[in-house]
A = this chain, B = another copy of it.
C-alpha cells in the first residue's frame, strides 16, 4: 500500500503507522511517498511527521473517525465503487433540486435515516438531491462549511460505505445526488494543511479565513488537491455533480482559472466513465463567465446560482428592506424583471454594495441559473432561522412555490419547504475549541446587535439550537401541510410536462399597479393575483384549462392572494 503526502519544504518526512516510524522518499515537486508491505489493515491509524516534528493527521485523510485532531485511518475505496450501478440523471433543463442537510433532515441525522425518506422525495418529484457539505469538520454537528478534511466524510453521519449506499439508493429511486463542496477556505479548527505546504496565500483575503494559493508558487499541487477531491466524490462515491460554495471568494489570477481547470477535469472524467456530471457554482457575481464555454472565454461550469431571484421574491412578499433587500425595492417590477432575464443586476448601481453590480447574462441559458425561494443561507442566516412558512400565510407560500417551480430557471427547494415546516433552520456549531465557540456565539450576537431582541439570539454552540433545527416529520401529515405538499407535487408534475416543450419562449406579463402577474411557457400558464379579492386577470391567447388553483373560486377568477395554473386545452 502506497502512502504519500505533499510537503515541499520538508527535509525529512516519516509515516507513523501504529508504533512504526517509516521514512518516506521525496519524489518530484515535493511529494513524499513510501510503499508499505504487507498493506496495513483497513482502519489502521497513521500520521505524518515532518522534520522530526509532532505527528500530524493526513491532509488527504479519507477517514477521521476520532475527529479533526485525531489519527487518520487507512481506508480503501474500491468497495465504495462496487456499490454503484449505471444511472443517468435528468438534465438540468428538467431538474428540480432538493437541498438536504443530513444532520437535520431526520431525527437520527444519518445517511441511513435519510435513505429511508427517499421514497418520499421520489413521490414529491424532485430530480436531484443536494447534500450540504460532508468534508469532516469539528464537533458533533454543524452546517459543514468549516470542513478541514476535504477527502473524509463527516463521521457522525455514518460510514463511507453508508454514504455510498445512500448515493446508490438515490439512484435506485431515480434521484441524482449533488454534493456541496467548499473550496474557498478551510475551517478554523483542525486544519493542519498549512503545516504541510503552501496551501494558503496572503495575497488575497476571504471573509472566512486564509485564501487558498491557486496562483502563486507551488499552486499546481494545491489545485490538484482541489481537482482530485472533486473527482473523488464523483468517482468513488458515485455523486452526479457538485455545488461549489461561494466561488466569488475563490481568487485566482492565473491564465487558467482553477474553476476552469476543475470543470475540464470533471468533463474528462465524465467522458471516461460515460456519465453526465454537473458543476454548479454558488456565486454572487452575476457574471456569465462562470457558465460560458471555455472557447468563449468562460469557465465552462454547468450552471450558477443567482440570488437576485430569491431577493426579489422575498422582498416583494415580505416587504423586508434590510441588508441586501435594500437593492430590491421595486416589488413586482423587480420580480418580473428577474423572471424575464435571470439577473436583475446587470450593471446597475447597488445600494447594498455601493457600486455597480453584475453584467448582462449574455449567453446564459435558463437552465444554467439555479434559483430558490429558500435555502440554508437565506433561512439560516436570519437571526431566528425562520422559514417563509413561519413568516407568510399559505396562499403566499403557494404563489411563491409556483413562481419558483414554474420559473424558466432550475428550482432548488430547501428541506421541509414543501410542507411548510415550522421548525427553524438555525445557525448551529459544535466547536470543540472553547475560545472559538465563544467567538462564534459572540459574533452571532454582534451580527444581529441592531435588533431589539438581541439577548434571545439562539447560541450556535447550544446543542438545543441544533436539535430545534431538525425537521419534524409528523408535521407533514397535518392537513394544511399536506395541502402544501400536494401543491408542490402538482407544480413539479406541471413543470415536468412543460419541460418537453423547452424550446417555447418563456413570457411574462404583469401589471404592477393592479397587482397581478402572468407567466407562461409552452402549454403551462400561471396567473398570480396579489390583490385582496378574487378577480379576473388577462390571459394570453388560449384556450386554457384550469389545472390547479390555490383556493376554490368561480370560473375564470383567480383567488385573492391566489394562484391559478392552466394548461393549454
Residues on A lying within 8 angstroms of B by beta carbon are 202-205, 215-220, 248, 251, 253-256, 285-289, 292, 295-298, 347, 349, 353-359, 362
Contacts and interface: CB of A to CB of B under 8 A. Distances in A.
A94 to B, nearest CB: 28
A359 B255 contact: yes
Contact of A358 (B255, B354, B358): B255
Contact of A285 (B218, B248, B254): B254
A475 B220 CA distance: 49
Contacts of A285: 253-255
A248 B256 contact: no
A288 B358 CA distance: 22
Nearest to A201: B205
A204 B204 CA distance: 5
Given A255-B357, A296-B296, 16 more contacts: A204-B204, A204-B205, A215-B355, A217-B354, A217-B355, A220-B356, A248-B253, A251-B251, A251-B253, A255-B285, A255-B287, A256-B347, A256-B356, A292-B297, A295-B362, A297-B298
A293 to B, nearest CB: 9
A355 B216 contact: yes
Contacts of A203: 204-205
Nearest to A261: B356
Nearest to A362: B295
A74 to B, nearest CB: 31
25 contacts: A202-B205, A203-B204, A216-B355, A217-B353, A217-B355, A218-B355, A220-B349, A220-B355, A220-B356, A248-B253, A251-B251, A251-B253, A253-B285, A254-B285, A254-B287, A254-B355, A255-B287, A255-B347, A255-B357, A256-B347, A256-B356, A295-B362, A296-B296, A297-B297, A297-B298
A-B interface, 4 closest residue pairs, ranked by CB to CB distance from nearest: A297-B297, A217-B354, A255-B287, A255-B359
A223 to B, nearest CB: 8
Contacts of A296: 296-297
A353 B349 CA distance: 39
A347 to B, nearest CB: 7
A349 B217 CA distance: 11
Nearest to A283: B255
Contacts of A251: 251, 253
Residue of A253, A292, A298, A358 ringed by the most chain B CB atoms within 10 A: A253
Contacts of A288: 255
A417 to B, nearest CB: 30
A105 B466 CA distance: 72
A287 B252 CA distance: 13
Contacts of A220: 349, 355-356
Contacts of A289: 255, 297
Contacts of A358: 255
Contacts of A298: 297
A215 B350 CA distance: 12
A270 B296 CA distance: 26
Contacts of A216: 355
Nearest to A352: B217
Nearest to A286: B255
A475 to B, nearest CB: 41
A296 B354 CA distance: 29
B204 A359 contact: no
Contacts of A217: 353-355
A219 B287 contact: no
A283 B4 CA distance: 37
Nearest to A214: B355
Contacts of A359: 255-256
Contacts of A347: 255-256
A285 B252 CA distance: 12
Contacts of A362: 295
Nearest to A206: B203
A202 B211 CA distance: 13
A441 B215 CA distance: 31
Contacts of A354: 217-218
A152 B296 CA distance: 39
A358 B256 CA distance: 7
Contacts of A356: 220, 254, 256
A296 B294 CA distance: 9
Contacts of A205: 202-204
Contacts of A256: 347, 356, 359
Nearest to A219: B355
